[in-house]
Amino acid sequence: ATSTTDTTLTTSPSSSTSSTSLFTLSFSSITSDTSTSSFITTSTNASFSISTLTSSTSSAELTPICGGPGVALCDGGCHDLKTDMAHCGRCGNACAAGRDCLNGVCTSRPCDSRCGFDRMCGASNGSVECTCASSVEGNGICFDKNKFKCDDDALPKCTLSRDCPVGSACVREYCNCGTAPSRGVCVKTEGCGDGGVEVLGALVRIGETERRRRSVKGLVI
């Protein structure tokens, strides 16, 4: 006659380089034979595997949120277009070496336009006449004088360049053929050297008609 006296279960992991782990179960049973007073041990091995699933979460790169007047997203970062030399007035508009970024306008070297004479910024092509005028802050600003006229009521008026829209500067002495104005007009450099002009052109005398056109009473307050 026989009777089972004990049963054990053991597990052992096997080496594995993958994400699947192999385990071996050993079943051991000890059986006693009462007729012979002996013990018989029987072992059984069984193998099974467990697959481990892993997941990785990569956080998406966040796009900066830019705020404030004249601040824009350029090259993945926030830049102040009013003063940034590499992004002056708009993304990617770099000012030339030695120039300044004034309210989003790349300045030119100081110029000496005055009532009766215009300092040109380059050769005229019939449709664009680039004239240099001094900003209220004392910087040279090159602009198309055919587009920005002192007697144009639609032009924004200003006391300082910061009063102008970003990308414009305030020029005052250009419109001084008459009573010295307290205010200036906002002009842009579009078409006349957005990066700033280093070499200026000739000093050209203006006619009497142009002189009268620049005597703008509306600029005196």
User: Measured between alpha carbons, how far is 212 from 151 in angstroms, rounded to an integer?
Assistant: 10
Q: Domain-by-domain residue ranges, the chain?
A: 2-51, 106-219
**Mean pLDDT, rounded, for 141-150:** 88
pLDDT score of 163: 94
pLDDT score of 129: 85
| Per-residue pLDDT reduced to its tens digit, 4-22 | 444 444 444 444 444 444 4
Which of these, 193, 173, 198, lies nearest to 183 by C-alpha position?
173
User: Measured between alpha carbons, how far is 100 from 137 in angstroms, rounded to an integer?
Assistant: 11
| Per-residue pLDDT reduced to its tens digit, 63-90 | 788 888 889 999 989 999 999 999 999 9
| Per-residue pLDDT reduced to its tens digit, 33-68 | 545 444 444 445 544 444 444 444 445 567 788 888
pLDDT score of 181: 62
Helix (H) or strand (E) holding 143: strand 140-144
φ, ψ of residue 208 in degrees (nearest 5): -65, -35
pLDDT score of 160: 94
Which of these, 177, 170, 182, 158, lies nearest to 216 by C-alpha position?
177
3-class secondary structure, 134: strand
Return the amino acid letter for 124: S
Residue 142 in this model has a pLDDT that exceeds 60? yes
**Mean pLDDT, rounded, for 171-189:** 78
- pLDDT averaged over the chain? 74
Burial classification of residue 84, based on how many CB atoms lie within 10 Å of its CB (0-12 exposed, 13-18 middle, 19 or more buried): buried
Task: For the full predicted model, state whether its pTM sits above 0.75.
Answer: no
